[in-house]
């Protein structure tokens, strides 16, 4: 598996061999990264590739340490719910 960050396209990708299998689109405002869409090519679904691309993207952002994540995509939100140990990187909205 090859994980790639493509900042010019605002996405992370996961390839198996020469095949693109999963994509994670995002919007980065300099403080937060809104993860807007996790997508797996239909013929590669059911193998955990979306979870893998989210996991690797979150790990990269944790290493950088200068951004927080906003899980806009339902899949990303579910991924964080299943991985509460990674919640430290989540953006906390201010409460009134």
- Per the structure, the complete domain to which residue 38 belongs is given by 2-84
Q: Within a domain: residue 38? A: yes
Residue 95 lies in a domain: no
Please tell me the pTM assigned to this model: 0.93
CA distance 55 to 32: 17
* Residue 41 included in any domain: yes
pLDDT confidence of 95, banded at 50, 70, 90? low
Four-CA torsion 22, 15, 7, 33, nearest 10 degrees = 40
On the question of pLDDT at 76 being above 70, the answer is yes
pLDDT band of 70, cuts 50, 70, 90:
very high
> How far from chain centre, in Å, is Cα 91?
14
């Amino acid at each position: 598996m090859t994980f790639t960050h493509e900042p010019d396209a605002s996405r992370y990708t996961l390839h198996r061999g020469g095949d693109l299998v999963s994509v994670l689109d995002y919007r980065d405002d300099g403080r937060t990264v809104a993860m807007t869409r996790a997508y797996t090519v239909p013929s590669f679904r059911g193998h955990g590739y979306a979870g893998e691309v989210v996991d690797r993207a979150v790990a990269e952002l944790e290493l950088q340490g200068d951004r927080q994540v906003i899980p806009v995509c339902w899949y990303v939100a579910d991924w964080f719910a299943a991985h509460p140990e990674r919640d430290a990187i989540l953006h906390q909205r201010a409460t009134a």
